[in-house]
Structure 1
């Protein structure tokens, strides 16, 4: 079964180092929380708000390890919605898994926790 795992984070600045660091932290937690191996990942889509353009956050996956070399990743611009969360990086990871929809752990860091408070794991 293919399932989607959602994640999002924010950064304080349009800064390459911070964008890569926060994206890597997010991806690593998404993988750990859902017991995912890179070979289980069908694809990763990363969107950025219009105020972020210092780097491609997909580069962060290549920093995780060699086993990520063949994971397909694509970056794109998030639609601009008035009064939406700024400096936000969103991730949609599609994975092959036996977990049910309800067993998937979606991950939100920093200001992105405001996006889906209903999905925040209160035990973490």
Structure 2
């Protein structure tokens, strides 16, 4: 087994706890499905949010979906002027077979962040 890192991002319309939880749930399910990930393979998840999102921690959604034994951390994005607003990002560290090809996931408005990664769309 080899250690991999996987990136993903999504956006929400409003700074609302349920919107943040729903978007995070969607993002994590898509990341796990596209990469055939289980909680047992995950080492850690680091979530970041833009400054305009503070109604809820994305880690709450991850815990609700069964990732309670995976170390989870939430942090703030650097507030770069002109950056895409209302973004939730995640980096997942996990173990997989050495020939595994990571499929990064960018959903909703976050698709514009990585148009160079066709597999992320």
TM-score past 0.5 threshold: yes
| Gapped regions of structure 2 (runs ≥ 5) | none
Written as runs of structure 1 = structure 2, the 5 A alignment for 1:1-124 is: 1-65=2-66, 68-100=67-99, 103-121=101-119
Give deviations 1:1-33, integer Å, cap 9, x for gaps: 111110000000000001000000100110110
Normalized against structure 2, the TM-score is what?
0.93
CA RMSD of aligned residues (A): 1.5
Tell whether the 8 Å contact from 1:49 to 1:77 is kept in structure 2 after alignment. Answer: yes
Tell me which stretches of 4 or more aligned residues in structure 1 moved more than 3 Å.
none
Contact 1:11–1:18 under 8 Å retained in 2? yes
C-alpha displacement of 1:80: 0.8
Query: Which runs of no fewer than 5 residues in structure 1 stay unpaired?
Result: none
How far has the Cα of 1:100 moved from its partner? 4.3
Note the alpha carbon deviations across 1:59-113, whole angstroms, 9 max, x for none: 0012213xx2211100000011110010000000000111547x11000111100
